[in-house]
Amino acid sequence: MGNIKSYRLSAQLKAELNQNRKSRTPFPAINFSFLQNLNFKKIPFRGIALFMGVFTLIVLSYTGIKSLYEYSLQKNEKLKQAQVQEYQDHLDQIKGEVGKLADSATSYVTLSQKFLKEKDIEKAEAAAKLATEKDPAWRDGFINEGHVMLSANKFEEAKQAFEKALAIDPICGQAHYLLSLTYQELKNNDLAKVEFAKAKQFGFETEIGG
Return the CATH superfamily for domain 101-202: Tetratricopeptide repeat domain (1.25.40.10)
139 contact partners, CB below 8 Å, separation of at least 6: 165, 168, 169, 172, 175
Biggest alpha carbon distance in the chain? 118
- Give the pLDDT band of residue 14 (cuts 50, 70, 90): low
199 contact partners, CB below 8 Å, separation of at least 6: 173, 174, 176, 177, 180
Determine the average pLDDT of the residues in 97-104: 92
The pLDDT of residue 93 is 92
The pLDDT of residue 4 is 46
The pLDDT of residue 196 is 96
How much is the mean pLDDT over the chain? 84
Q: Which string of b and e fits 30-46 if b means at least 16 CB within 10 Å?
A: eeeeeeeeeeeeeeeee
pTM, 2 dp? 0.62
Determine the average pLDDT of the residues in 75-90: 83
pLDDT in tens, 136-192: 999 999 999 999 999 999 999 999 999 999 999 999 999 999 999 999 999 999 999
CB distance 154 to 173 below 8 Å: no
Domain boundaries, the chain: 46-95, 101-202
